[in-house]
Amino acid sequence: MKFSFSVASLLISGASAFVVQQQPPNMHQGSMMKTNTALQAVSKKDSYDVTLLPGDGIGPEITAATKEALAALCTRFGFEMNLKEALIGGAAIDAANDPFPQESLDQCLASDSVLLACIGGYKWDTNPRELRPETGLLKMRKEMGLFANLRPAKVLPQLIEASTLKREVVEGVDVMVVRELTGDVYFGTPKGIDVVDGQRVGYNNMIYSESEIDRIARVAGDVASKRGGKLCSVDKANVLDVSQLWRDVVTDVITKDFSDVELSHMYVDNAAMQLIRWPKQFDTIVCGNIFGDILSDEASMLVGSLGMLPSASIGESGPGVFEPCHGSAPDIAGEDKANPLAMILSAAMMLQYDLDRPEEAQLLEKAVEAVLDQGIRTPDIKQEGDGCKLVGCKEMGEAVAKLVAEIDMPAEVEV
């Protein structure tokens, strides 16, 4: 697959909606079946069912702004998007005493795609583990089989001064972090807090199987082959047995099935340092769940604000979940200060990769670029003395929607 660049071709830069599909037996790695990555989206149609998960904090505000932009898009292109909200996170705990109720899961699974805002907040931080918003997010990923998370970090010319790093360090940065999402220490068992010899002992299990590593390595290999052809696998193989297995399997997959990709390995502590020291050395990064959780947030901040970056979580079948990289920002919730652009760009990813609407996706991306070109800024990307207009979340959504209705289509859409 090949896609033309625009502001948010920061998104995947040519990668498909990577869904691992089982192929006829082609055995390697002992008895493990070989898998292949391929585009899997619903066929283009006149009406789509999309589940919205507004979640917590600023979630309802950025969801409202995104709905406005999508409404303008549907009007212009003559198709329908049936947007139905469901509960997740703290809102679900308050309403149903469950961070991701079965009703929400069933609705997500029955949808063509899922658009998530954000979850969490101080209100629920002291709840028991099973009644915390993050538990609902983990449940959604596990139950929907969302094993791969794709997080782009591309520095935009319009916002280069918003980065806390020097221009010469971040100018031209375009990194994709491919994070495994349903394994590792977040899901490993046994886990818990027990009393041993009179004191509490907490423990988790950092665990991966060959097949889990194999399928994320194939996603990463496919991404890298359609970007710059470089893949850096991050681990801690010098001290962790699970990381040694990770390194062995990734090496085997990439060298055998992605010979055009230049593979390197880096310990996670060095990777964290190198992302700040010289981020332009990276093209595509693949890592396990906990390392990816940390490094993807670090990479995202290279661009100056998490409020600009979308992400996609995908699985072997069924709908994907598209969400901004940022959190729920409870400190500014309800104050009309949130930046909705990351969620709008997440909606563009959804259109591109789940709904088979590449033209509409590129127009939405172009509208975001045009808003930035017009000097419209939310507080998180506003710089002192930049001459730009400061707006709130609602007005930013309205500005994008207006441009969706007015601007010309991109000259070329390649698929």
Q: Residue 49 catalytic? A: no
241 Cβ neighbours under 8 A, 6+ residues apart = none
Contact 9, 3 (CB under 8 A): yes
Q: What angle do CA 121, 61, 298 make, to 5 degrees?
A: 55
Q: What type of residue sits at position 264?
A: S
* Lowest mean pLDDT segment, chosen from 316-320, 329-333, 365-369, 373-377: 316-320
CB atoms within 10 A of CB 178: 27
Burial class (CB in 10 A: 0-12, 13-18, 19+), 277: exposed
Catalytic entry in 297, 336, 386, 394 = 297
Q: Residue 174 catalytic? A: no
Summarised one tens digit per residue, pLDDT across range 367-395 is 999 999 999 999 999 988 889 999 999 99
pLDDT at 175 exceeding the cut of 90: yes
pLDDT at 1 exceeding the cut of 60: no
Summarised one tens digit per residue, pLDDT across range 275-290 is 999 999 999 999 999 9
What is the reported pLDDT for 14?
39
Catalytic entry in 139, 154, 226, 236 = 236
Mean pLDDT: which of 126-130, 160-164, 379-383 is highest?
126-130
What is the reported pLDDT for 409?
81
Contact 287, 268 (CB under 8 A): yes
Tokens coding 404:
């969706």
Average pLDDT of the chain is 88
Beta bridge partners of 44: none
Higher per-residue confidence, 59 vs 11: 59
Catalytic entry in 106, 194, 241, 269 = 269
Contact 149, 183 (CB under 8 A): no
Mean pLDDT of 183-191: 93
pTM comes to 0.81
Q: Residue 186 catalytic? A: yes
Give me the helix-helix angle, 341-353 and 59-77, nearest 10°: 50
CA distance 3 to 13: 7
Percent of the chain at pLDDT exceeding 70? 89
Q: Residue 267 catalytic? A: no
Catalytic entry in 48, 186, 208, 353 = 186
Catalytic entry in 49, 248, 293, 336 = 293
Tokens coding 110:
């029955």
Beta bridge partners of 193: 202
CA distance 278 to 16: 28
CA distance 69 to 81: 12
Mean pLDDT of 70-78: 97
**Biggest distance spanned by C-alpha atoms of the chain:** 70
What is the reported pLDDT for 36?
42
List strand residue ranges (DSSP E) for 120-204, in order. 146-154, 174-180, 192-196, 199-203
Q: Residue 353 catalytic? A: no
Which residue from 264, 276, 272 is spatially nearest to 229, judged by alpha carbons?
A: 264
**What 8-state DSSP symbol labels residue 187?**
T
Is the peptide bond prior to 190 cis by the omega test (within 30 degrees of 0)?
A: yes
